[in-house]
Amino acid sequence: MAMAENPISTAIRSIDRPVLFAAAFIVVILIVGTAYTLITQGNAALLSPTYLLLQLKVSAFLGIVAAGAMLVILLGHIDLSVPWTIAASAMLATAWGGAGAIPVGLLVGLGVGVFNGLGVAFLRIPSMIFTLGVNVVLRGFMVMLTGGFSPSSEPTDLMLLLAKGDVLGIPIPVIIWAVVGIAVSFMLRRTPLGRYMYAIGNREGAVYLSGINTRLVLVAAFAMCSMLAALAGLLIAGYSSKAFQAMGDPYLLPSIAAVVIGGTNILGGSGKLSGTVMGTILIVLLQSVLSVMQMPEAGRQIIYGIVIIAMLLAYGRGSRLRL
């Protein structure tokens, strides 16, 4: 569309376009939102550090989920079990309680991820189908566990601290997000595992014939994805002060949207973590500013969908060499 011929975009190397586009759009959202608050309330509340830090904090939860989702998408797969991985890890962690809560939550994530990975890598079931089934099973499992009796859904003190505390004014979730982001980015750019992930996303058969155990790479990616979802689940439980069944549902589609808006090819093989980070902030900010502007849910959904398509039309077209 018209945005594709934007002179700014053509002047900049295509590889950084997603990040720049997302950044530019974030600025646009802030300007429009601030114009709105200036007119209606006479202040620039959206530009206050408190508001921006709060948005970063909210972004952290989605950002951690999206970082994991990106790893799986890079391989040309997808993980639809994220919602109940989030919920199951948080619910089991709070039910366990005490010092073991966080390790239990992460172990749940690891278990789900390895199971997903085994199904996809060894049984060669399309990931979309297998993880969809795992999501249903997890839901059923949690209904069974929590239906008969009511386990504690109270987060532990440590979970509350990690989700709500701050260090030198920076919320701890943001710090955790940063650490996760740096680690994932380092893994992707500097280690063989990361290189294998990109390679498998492009042509798994060729990687297999290059003497690389592609199945282990797949299992590793799914395990990391689910563990990050579990980590996010623990933080969300802390942030909302309880673990509950539907807590993961609002994270699946936005995390995928954040990944693709950030320039990762949904078919796998290319993408950068910086893009996913920008995509995450964009989505969170868009939702927040629209609700500040008192846009009803219906309107928010519509704008959200249109923004995704517009962003992709602007730079996501034909990004893959097709032969």
Site for other proteins in 79-118 (CB under 8 A): 80
Stretch that binds other proteins, among 43-51, 54-62, 139-147, 173-181 (CB under 8 A): 139-147
Among 123, 150, 167, 294, indicate the residue that binds other proteins (CB under 8 A). Answer: 123
* Cβ–Cβ < 8 Å for 87, 142: yes
Taking CB under 8 A as the rule, does residue 42 contact other proteins?
A: no
Question: CA 77, 82, 85 angle in degrees (round to 5)?
Answer: 130
Stretch that binds other proteins, among 99-107, 133-141, 218-226, 228-236 (CB under 8 A): 133-141
Other C-beta atoms closer than 10 Å to the C-beta of 215 total 17
Output 38 or 179, the one with its CB closest to other proteins.
179
Among 141, 165, 183, 291, indicate the residue that binds other proteins (CB under 8 A). Answer: 141
Among 20, 137, 175, 178, indicate the residue that binds other proteins (CB under 8 A). Answer: 137
**By C-alpha distance, which of 284, 217, 216, 205 is closest to 71?**
217
Output 155 or 263, the one with its CB closest to other proteins.
263
**By C-alpha distance, which of 4, 18, 12, 13 is closest to 265?**
18
Among 52, 53, 114, 132, indicate the residue that binds other proteins (CB under 8 A). Answer: 132
Among 8, 28, 38, 128, indicate the residue that binds other proteins (CB under 8 A). Answer: 128
Output 85 or 135, the one with its CB closest to other proteins.
135
Among 99, 140, 170, 241, indicate the residue that binds other proteins (CB under 8 A). Answer: 140
* Cβ–Cβ < 8 Å for 54, 285: no
Output 156 or 202, the one with its CB closest to other proteins.
202
Interacting residues of 27 by C-beta distance below 8 A, sequence separation 6+: none
Instruction: Please give the DSSP secondary-structure letter assigned to residue 99.
Output: G
Least spacing, CB of residue 150 vs other proteins, in Å: 13
Taking CB under 8 A as the rule, does residue 167 contact other proteins?
A: no
* Cβ–Cβ < 8 Å for 234, 93: yes
Q: What is the Cα–Cα distance from 87 to 261, expressed in whole angstroms?
A: 25
| CA distances, 317 to each of 6, 39, 229 (Å) | 14, 37, 29
Taking CB under 8 A as the rule, does residue 62 contact other proteins?
A: no
Restricting to residues 187-246, name those near other proteins by CB under 8 A: 190-192, 195-196, 198-199, 202-213
Restricting to residues 296-315, name those near other proteins by CB under 8 A: 296-306, 308-309, 312-313
* Cβ–Cβ < 8 Å for 87, 243: yes
Restricting to residues 239-298, name those near other proteins by CB under 8 A: 249, 253, 256-257, 260, 265-267, 269-270, 296-298
Stretch that binds other proteins, among 18-26, 137-145, 234-242, 278-286 (CB under 8 A): 137-145
SS3 321: coil
Q: What is the Cα–Cα distance from 291 to 33, expressed in whole angstroms?
A: 10
Least spacing, CB of residue 97 vs other proteins, in Å: 22
Taking CB under 8 A as the rule, does residue 129 contact other proteins?
A: yes
* Cβ–Cβ < 8 Å for 259, 66: yes
Which residue type sits at 54?
L
